[in-house]
Amino acid sequence: MITCKNNFNELVTLPREKFKFRPSVYGIVRNGDKMCICKNKSNNKIWFPGGGVNLGESRIDALMRELKEETGLKKVKINKLIGSFENFFYYQPTDDAMHVFLFFYDCTTDETDLKTNDFIQDEETIDPQWMKIKDFKKEDLSDMNDEIFDMIKSLK
């Protein structure tokens, strides 16, 4: 049995065989003093544009695909890998348990226009927007609050 958090930040215990392996990539995309964030449809918490890496796809290709699908951003410079984390997670709406490796990249762009919800190609992502980095709070996050918050605050 594995105990993990679900998308509502509640602890759940599930059988090990329920978990699927899922490498994922996320962009901390900055434009000046702002970063691009999205909200999760199921809990209205903040997360970052990104998602699963498909079999045979590189992490960079996956990140560029996910950024375009969820935000519409196409001219993004991927500067460097800034964090990687392992996590176990249960996504309650679809009854999916995941053993994830999350790779976070520091990215920059000059683009400012973001997709509206009508054009987002993702079942969980809504409301892409620019948020001032100084306004970012740990309790706004969907999961892994301390680790992700510390990573964001370390960006210069």
3-state secondary structure of 150: helix
Q: Is the pTM value of this prediction over 0.95?
A: no
User: Where is average pLDDT lowest: 11-20, 41-50, 79-88, 139-148?
Assistant: 139-148
Query: Considering only CA atoms, which of 34, 117, 102 is closest in space to residue 72?
Result: 117
- pLDDT digit string (tens) for 21-60? 999 999 999 999 999 999 887 788 888 999 999 999 999 9
Partnered with residue 129 across adjacent β-strands are 37
Domains held by the chain: number = 1
- pLDDT bucket at 113, cuts 50 / 70 / 90: confident
CATH of the domain at 63: 3.90.79.10
Range of the domain at 106: 2-153
